[in-house]
Structure 1
Amino acid sequence: MTDIRSSVRADLLDTVSARHGGLIPAAALRESGLNSHAVEALVRDGSLVRPRRGLYVPGETWRSADPDERYRLYVRATAAMAARPIVVSHLSAATLHGLPTIGHWPRTVHTLNLDASGGSTARHQTSHRGGPDPELQVIDGVLVTSLARTLIDVAAATSFLIGVVMIDDALRVDRERVASAARRGILLPAALTKALLFAELAAVSPRFGARQANRAIEFGNALSANGGESMSRVRIFQLGFEVPELQVPFRNVEGRDYWVDYYWRRVRKIGEFDGMQKYTRGRVLAGRDPGEVVWREKRREDALRRHSDSFDRWDWDTALSPVLFDRFLRERGVPRA
């Protein structure tokens, strides 16, 4: 009987959650026949998690969510509970746009105050002065700054590293969108370019961080395949090493074409960022056995070694640490800029 009640309760929570886009208002639980005591019991046993007072998430959804997904839920919950409509901006808008970051997401939700001349911080919100009226859009029911404005705000207010990581990702996604349409015979204009970002930077004209944002746009490159590759490229530049070419093709290597993450042509050196997702993530594996993926990668590396003078790999922890990465690059003879 207990198992039946648990199954009915789980089905009820899943239904209410689906109806409300993953965030369950307290009122919806009451309408489903759960009083405050029953809701508190569900919170205590982990069936529900309360990211913000008055809003709940199924416990299994919260426990299986990664930090990006949890922060998105927190941003959506904060917007839903705001006393008046808010405009989500900066890193909080970035997470709703699906942009990657390096390090932790903030503890508050960043918003634009279009009427303020300065910023402020409350318990759940960090407010920034609005500046020129931003272009806005709605994502998951939340009013957010446009992608271009978000990239400028982040690049100016955070760090060169985070700015480049997000700009690289946005440029890559749009480039892939245009390329995918072209393969179907559809010609689409680019929705995001460096020229557009430079124009947005000029329009926003941030009081602080304008030069840093300008450098991040200049350094941005749509060929970086993921956040780890972007981070590595920034570190290589910041540590004073020669910035390599990206996604360089090696044609007809033992009958196949390969692309490498980094290539220092002058010294015929190949470099690869080795994110663990290529061996562990379902979407990347595409139904293949992880052992098969490792074996194919080994064959690829052996083939490429015969067409270069050296082949080196590094992982996330190495690239994240300037000290470790500097030692790694020096020991492997990466040329100085």
Structure 2
Amino acid sequence: MATPRFSIQIDGNRLNAALMGRITGFDLTEADDAPARLALRLGLRQGADGTYDLLDAGPFEPGAEIRLVLAAPGGSDQAMFTGHLSHLRPHFEEPEANSWLEVLASDAAMLLAAEERVASYPDAGDSDAASEILGRYGLQLDAQDTDAKLAADDMLLIQRADDWSFLRHLAGRNGFVTYFEPDPQSGDPICHFHPRRFDEPPQPDLTILRENANLDWIDFSIALDRPEKRLAHAIDGPAKRLVHALGEAEDELLGEALLAGDAAQGLARAGATGSVRFLRGGLPRDAALTAHARGRGQADHLSVEARGQLDPARYRGLLRAHRCVLIKGVGDRLGGSHYVREVQTELADGNLLQRFTAVSNALGRRGAEEFGQSAEEEPPT
């Protein structure tokens, strides 16, 4: 029977078989707008001289780079994590066999968060500032240009925060997400700064209560109290004018119809006078205010949430965050395309499982979903 396989690299050196054999499990969390975090647990052993090799002469030094490559049972190797050591947590217990060392690592967001700074970005848009921030660290950036640029002689874009916090701020106000992920080939970290990519081909189907099911369970939450619209106004002091956001959020639908509209009608039927929120703190410039209002509105509309647990052995692969996936076996209204916002991958006692959170802005199907996809199977070894 196929089993999961994985490898760990420390500063470019693959962990030897003896140390790999002492890894009792790991936990990897990946999510939008948050650092990816890896926790490794290794058994501690005391030498005849009273020292512990992993603590007193181990490979886990400050600043050490840690990489994880993982394959689900029957699946192919994938670069899952590249980051740096953030914590060491030794635990001692009688009997000695119950002692362990937990090694925690965070992706490159930890480097961006290490120093608070004051910086300015003249004649730049938010994506230009993101490019300059990543350039400080020599890191690759996968970004989409933002609509608005601020002229140096008009309004200067100023940062008073650490680079990671400021990057998240820039992404959030444009309706973008930002995160790090290893390059599939090299394993080197790439920073993403762009809208959620709903238009890319979905991952293999997640299935429950049907033949070839791969989900252990799945729950849904449908929020019917989210705002339908964001109103944005700002005062341009020097020009003595009121700036308005133009147009409304332009959602790319993941289903048949936007849920926010039906929810707003339901609120009105129940007696509400509207389903509107203000966008506060918007920049008093037409293009910027419009982009920020549309981006926040699109995030508001992600009001369908799915949480579930996946068996990678039956899935024959690994579910990844930051991508869409098709869900089936849950009826016509809930089935269809969902965007995976977070994935937690856990190995314990030789068993691999994944828990995930996915979101959608619509109920029902678009009609173009191509169900029936499955992860590619590898021949048994």
- TM-score normalised by length of structure 2: 0.28
- Which structure has the higher relative contact order (CA within 8 Å, separation 6+)? 2
Q: Which structure has greater helix proportion? A: 1
Q: Which structure has greater strand proportion? A: 2
